[in-house]
C-alpha cells in the first residue's frame, strides 16, 4: 500500500508539472466561474506551440476548447513570488502573487476603464455638428462624412467587442461598446440627412442591435456556446471580406475600382468557417483561424491611419483640416489601453493600441509639425509626455513580473516566452 501511495504521489507531481497554468486576473476569475481551471485538468503542449486541451469549453474569444480540439493560448508568465514549488515529498506548493503584481493588475484595469472617456469625447463633436446641420437643414454638409469609412470602423468595433467580451476585459469591452454606439449614432444622422442609403443603414442597425445583445449575454454567461460560435463565424467572414476591400479602395484611382478583393477573401473566409465546423482543418490552420476575427478587426483600425497618411502625402493642403484635439483624444485613448494590453501579454491588443498611439496619434502629429500646422512647443510637449508614459509603463510592468529589464516585457509579449 505504501508503495502504491508513493507511486500515486509521483504521478500527481508529474501531471502537475506538465499542466499548463494559465494565470488569470481577479476580475476575469470572478466574472466567469465556468472558466476556472481544475486542479488536475491537463493541457498537452506540442513543440509547435499548440496546446491540446482536454478540459472542456474555454470561453475566451471565439476559441473552441471541446475534447480533441486545438486551442490557441499564449503563455503568460507569473511573477517570481507566484511560481510553483515542488517539495521533496512530491506535493506542489503554490504561493500567492506578489503585492506589486496585484497592485499593477488593479491599476492597469482602472486605467483601461478611464480610456472610455477619451473615446466617448472622440465622436461627440462630430455628433453635435451633425445635429446642428440636420436642424438647420444643411444636409449637404453631411455628405462630407464618408459613410463607408464609418461603417468599416463600426465593424471593427463590433469584432473587437466580441473579442474582449470573451476575455472578460471590462475596460476594453466598454471602449468598444462606446465605439459601436457612437458610430451607430453618426450613421443614423447620415441616413436621416440622405448621405447614406436607408436600406444599408437598416441592415447595419439590425446587425448592431444583434451584436450588442449577443455580446451582453455572453459577457454575463447567459448565451449558449453554440450561438456564440455562430456569431464568431459571422464576424470572421465579415471582417475578412471588408478588410481587403477597404485596403484596395484606398489606392483608387491608382488601381482600378473592383470588388474582387472582398469577394475573394470573403469566399476564403467562408470556406475556412465550413471546414472548421466539419473539423477538417489541420492544427496549424486551426491556430490561424482561432485569432482571425480579432486580427482582421485590429488591421481595420490600423489601416485607418495609413489611409490618412496616404491622403496627407497626396494632398498636403488637407492637413490643415485635421483637428488636433481629435488626434490627441485618439492617441490618449489608445495610450491608456497599452498598460493593460502589455500586462495581459495580449499581442493583438497591444499591436492595435500601440499603432493607434504611435501612428494614428503621434505619427499624424509629425506630419502636421512638418507642414507647420502645430507649433514647436505643442509637438515637443506631447512627444515628451508620450515618451514618459511608455517608459513608466515598461518599468512598472517589469517590476510587477520581477523582470531584470524594462524591455523584457516586450520580448515576452512578442515571443510568448521569457528569455534565458
In a domain, residue 364? The reply is yes
In a domain, residue 86? The reply is no
In a domain, residue 383? The reply is yes
User: What is the grid cell recorded at 247?
Assistant: 485596403
In a domain, residue 305? The reply is yes
Q: Can you give the pLDDT of all 420 residues of the chain as single tens digits?
A: 455 555 545 544 544 444 444 444 434 433 333 333 333 344 444 444 444 333 333 333 343 333 333 333 444 455 544 444 444 445 444 556 788 999 999 999 999 999 989 888 887 888 888 898 899 888 887 876 778 778 877 888 888 898 888 888 888 899 889 989 988 998 999 999 888 889 989 998 999 999 999 999 999 999 998 898 899 888 888 888 888 888 888 777 788 888 898 899 999 999 999 998 888 888 888 888 877 877 887 887 777 667 666 766 777 766 766 678 888 998 999 999 999 999 999 998 999 899 889 987 898 888 888 888 889 999 999 999 999 999 999 999 999 999 999 999 999 998 877 655
In a domain, residue 153? The reply is yes
**Residue 180 is part of which domain span?**
100-415
Q: Give me the number of domains the chain comprises.
A: 1
Whole-structure pTM value: 0.68
In a domain, residue 63? The reply is no
In a domain, residue 225? The reply is yes
In a domain, residue 403? The reply is yes
Amino acid at each position: 500500500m505504501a508503495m502504491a501511495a508513493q507511486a500515486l504521489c509521483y504521478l500527481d507531481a508529474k501531471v502537475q508539472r506538465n499542466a499548463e497554468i494559465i494565470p488569470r486576473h481577479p476580475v476575469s476569475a470572478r466574472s466567469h466561474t465556468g472558466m476556472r481551471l481544475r486542479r488536475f485538468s491537463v493541457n498537452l503542449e506540442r513543440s509547435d506551440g499548440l496546446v491540446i486541451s482536454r478540459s472542456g469549453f474555454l470561453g475566451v474569444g471565439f476559441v473552441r476548447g471541446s475534447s480533441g480540439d486545438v486551442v490557441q493560448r499564449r503563455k503568460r508568465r507569473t511573477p517570481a513570488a507566484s511560481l510553483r514549488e515542488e517539495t521533496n515529498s512530491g506535493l506542489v506548493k503554490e504561493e500567492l502573487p506578489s503585492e506589486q503584481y496585484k497592485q499593477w493588475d488593479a491599476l492597469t484595469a482602472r486605467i483601461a476603464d478611464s480610456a472610455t472617456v477619451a473615446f466617448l469625447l472622440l465622436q461627440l463633436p462630430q455628433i453635435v455638428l451633425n445635429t446642428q446641420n440636420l436642424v438647420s437643414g444643411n444636409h449637404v454638409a453631411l455628405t462630407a462624412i464618408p459613410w463607408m469609412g464609418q461603417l468599416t470602423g463600426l465593424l471593427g468595433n463590433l469584432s473587437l467587442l466580441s473579442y474582449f467580451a470573451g476575455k472578460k476585459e471590462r475596460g476594453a469591452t466598454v471602449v468598444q461598446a462606446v465605439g459601436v454606439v457612437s458610430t451607430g449614432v453618426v450613421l443614423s444622422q447620415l441616413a436621416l440627412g440622405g448621405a447614406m442609403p436607408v436600406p444599408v443603414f437598416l441592415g447595419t442597425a439590425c446587425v448592431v442591435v444583434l451584436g450588442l445583445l449577443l455580446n451582453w449575454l455572453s459577457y454575463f454567461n447567459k448565451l449558449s456556446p453554440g450561438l456564440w460560435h455562430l456569431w464568431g463565424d459571422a464576424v470572421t467572414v465579415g471582417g475578412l471580406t471588408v478588410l481587403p476591400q477597404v485596403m484596395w479602395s484606398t489606392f483608387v484611382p491608382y488601381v482600378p475600382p473592383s470588388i474582387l478583393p472582398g469577394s475573394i477573401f470573403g469566399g476564403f473566409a467562408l470556406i475556412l468557417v465550413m471546414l472548421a465546423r466539419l473539423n477538417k482543418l489541420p492544427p496549424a490552420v486551426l491556430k490561424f483561424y482561432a485569432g482571425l476575427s480579432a486580427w482582421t478587426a485590429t488591421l481595420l483600425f490600423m489601416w485607418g491611419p495609413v489611409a490618412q497618411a496616404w491622403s496627407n502625402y497626396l494632398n498636403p493642403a488637407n492637413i490643415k483640416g485635421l483637428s488636433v484635439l481629435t488626434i490627441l483624444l485618439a492617441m490618449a485613448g489608445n495610450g491608456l489601453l497599452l498598460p493593460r494590453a502589455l500586462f495581459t501579454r495580449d499581442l493583438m491588443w497591444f499591436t492595435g493600441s500601440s499603432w493607434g498611439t504611435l501612428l494614428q496619434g503621434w505619427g499624424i502629429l509629425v506630419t502636421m509639425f512638418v507642414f507647420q500646422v502645430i507649433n514647436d512647443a505643442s509637438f515637443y510637449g506631447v512627444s515628451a509626455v508620450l515618451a514618459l508614459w511608455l517608459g513608466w509603463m515598461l518599468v512598472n510592468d517589469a517590476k510587477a513580473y520581477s523582470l531584470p529589464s524594462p524591455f523584457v516585457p516586450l520580448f515576452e509579449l512578442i515571443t510568448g516566452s521569457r528569455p534565458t
